[in-house]
Chain A
Amino acid sequence: MTKAVFSLKDATVTVPNGTTILNDLNLDIYPGDFITVLGTNGAGKSTLFNVISGDLPLTAGSVEHEGQDITQMPAVKRTSFLARVFQDPKLGTAPRMTVAENLLLAEKRGSKRTLKNRQLTNEKLTTYFNLTKTMGNNLEDRLQTATGSLSGGQRQALSFLMATRVKPGLLLLDEHTAALDPKTSDQLMAATNHQVKDNHLTALMITHNLKDALTYGNRLIVLNAGKIVLDVKDEEKDQLSEADLLTYFVH
């Protein structure tokens, strides 16, 4: 059996008013897993992500990365093996910097930034042109444009490319298509699926779209009241229907 790349052990998060958001949650993420995460609002999906990224401390339990306990590791250090795409297109990119500058910045994710020149060479620009072309939304024509003037879809596509520019040990997709119109959303989902498969990425994707959750990924989990109430993979997942899933959505 392969070793888990990421594990949550008895993860519990209790907020000061006494509410438990994550309740003794256990999750092992294996290399190559593309897990879709479902759950009602308040089920603990975002908390799960924040605990993994290190933005939220655990009240009890532990987080492990490749067998190492990283519960106390600060968020900024975890970026050397973690990448994240946010739901809000505004959060993922630096608006006054160009598309190329953003991509360049992403290449240094989690590593030291020195007083060396940033090296935005013509070769780099060619690489970025070919890379952005794969997203199919004309991003390649806007490499020298400040990201603040891109469309939401282009920004999210860029955020995704930035997050995967350096291959992360785990990619967190936080409803990254939710703010987009249906067509753009489908396009980005398809592109996401391609990239995750082609680059053998390990990813965790929150979604509210049951169809997406069933179509994409090899594994699906449903959260409810801070616990995983369904965890299925491969054939078992393929046999699920939207109606089956809805039965797990209870408050």
Chain B
Amino acid sequence: MSIIVSSISQGILWAVLGVALYLTFRILNFADMTVEGSFPLGASTAVSLIAHGVNPFLATLAALFVGAVAGFITGILYTKGKIPILLAGILVMTACLSINLRIMGSANISLLDQKTIFSVPFLSDLPKYFDGVVLGLIVISLILGFLIWFLQTELGQAFIATGDNPVMAAAFGIKTDRMTIMGLMVSNALIAFGGAVIAQNNGFADINMGIGIIVIALASIIIGEVVFGNLSLNQRLIAVVIGSIIYRLVLLAVLQLGFSTNDLNLISSIILAIAMMLPQVRKYLKLDKVLHLGGKTND
């Protein structure tokens, strides 16, 4: 039972990454590799600050800020420097490896005996793993609330239009470069924030903790879409959270089959590849009529 609760708590905490990546991957329509750098950047910033005695809540907020900076740099390289987005992201991701070592001073820092955001009384009184579930739900609710509000503002609509059709957006006076940079900043700020929370949940920050996280974030997006089919934008964001939990449960099931944790990245990639190919397989086998996997459709 407790390993299932643990998986659910991991799913909710990691959902932050899926929701953040949604902004770039689905709304701006590109894969932002920066996240593999901004995730450990947020973790190392928060953990280092906490190790130096800074209030854990302040340290976690600091992660938001450094993540936004990483996104800003990728955005400038892409929009003003005209470097292809994939490469711009890889450049910042690689640079973050050195930055993170500078911040931490070593390859990893433990939070043993340090106060974290999980140390507040009402969380530490909860049974094991439930603290992650509760805090994760609070965090993801705040983020979803913010994004749902933001995407319905005039600015949020301009941001969506930029990803949807940059030519049209520009013809209506939307500064598309600015929208792209803003999206990268918000996305990476949230990713770094997620890194800070997850590092505190794990009790340490490690220089290599960013490897493969884009695959995990993508998996939650794709699984959410495959399971729920056609949804409104707000519903899609919630579907990502559920996708993230499903992903963790699938992972748990696979581990129960006897795979070791060393196989995790391989398994993650396989799960994502299968999820991404599913629409093609479905089309090919005409499974839709048989399976109704799509759930209810809105439009």
Which A residues fall within an 8 A CB radius of B?
A: 53, 75-77, 79-80, 83-84, 86, 90-97, 101, 104-106, 108-111, 113-118, 144-146, 149, 162
Contacts and interface: CB of A to CB of B under 8 A. Distances in A.
B153 A79 contact: no
Contacts of B171: 53, 79, 83-84, 86, 92
B173 A80 contact: yes
A149 B230 CA distance: 14
Contacts of A86: 167, 171
A151 to B, nearest CB: 16
Contacts, number: 82
Interface stretch (B158-166, B201-209, B211-219, B265-273): B158-166
Contacts of A77: 173
B167 A105 contact: no
Contacts of B157: 97, 101, 104-105, 113, 118
A117 B153 CA distance: 4
B172 A106 contact: yes
B125 interface: no
Contact of B155 (A84, A111, A115): A115
Interface of B: 150, 152-158, 160-161, 164-165, 167-175, 299
A91 B165 contact: yes
Nearest to B149: A117
B25 to A, nearest CB: 14
20 contacts: A76-B170, A79-B171, A79-B173, A90-B165, A91-B167, A94-B161, A95-B165, A106-B172, A108-B154, A108-B158, A108-B172, A109-B172, A110-B173, A113-B154, A113-B157, A113-B158, A116-B154, A118-B153, A118-B157, A145-B299
Contact of B154 (A84, A90, A94, A118): A118
B172 A114 contact: no
A76 B175 CA distance: 7
Contacts of B299: 144-146, 149
B29 to A, nearest CB: 10
A157 B155 CA distance: 25
B160 A97 contact: yes
A105 B153 contact: no
Given A94-B168, A115-B155, 15 more contacts: A77-B173, A79-B172, A84-B171, A92-B168, A94-B160, A94-B161, A96-B160, A105-B157, A109-B172, A110-B173, A113-B153, A113-B157, A114-B153, A118-B156, A145-B299
B173 A93 contact: no
Contact of B153 (A106, A111, A115, A149): A115
Contacts of B175: 76
B153 A76 contact: no
B204 to A, nearest CB: 37
A101 B157 CA distance: 8
Contacts of A145: 299
Smallest CB-CB A-B distances: 5 pairs: A79-B173, A94-B164, A110-B173, A113-B154, A113-B158
B172 to A, nearest CB: 5
Given A113-B158, A118-B157, A108 B173 contact: yes
Nearest to B160: A97
Contacts of A117: 152-154
A163 to B, nearest CB: 8
A114 B154 contact: yes
Nearest to B175: A76
B226 to A, nearest CB: 18
B158 A105 contact: yes
Contacts of B161: 94, 97, 105
A170 to B, nearest CB: 13
A192 to B, nearest CB: 17
Nearest to B176: A76
- Of the candidates B152, B167, B173, the one having the most CB atoms from chain A within 10 angstroms of its own CB is B173
A76 B157 CA distance: 17
A93 B153 CA distance: 19
A146 B171 CA distance: 19
Contact of B172 (A110, A118, A144, A146): A110
Contacts of A146: 299
A244 to B, nearest CB: 35
A52 to B, nearest CB: 13
A113 B172 CA distance: 11
Contacts of B160: 94, 96-97
B173 A76 contact: yes
A97 B171 CA distance: 16
Contacts of A149: 299
Nearest to B26: A96
Contacts of A76: 170, 173-175
Contacts of B173: 76-77, 79-80, 108-111
Contact of B152 (A84, A105, A106, A118): A118
B164 A96 contact: yes
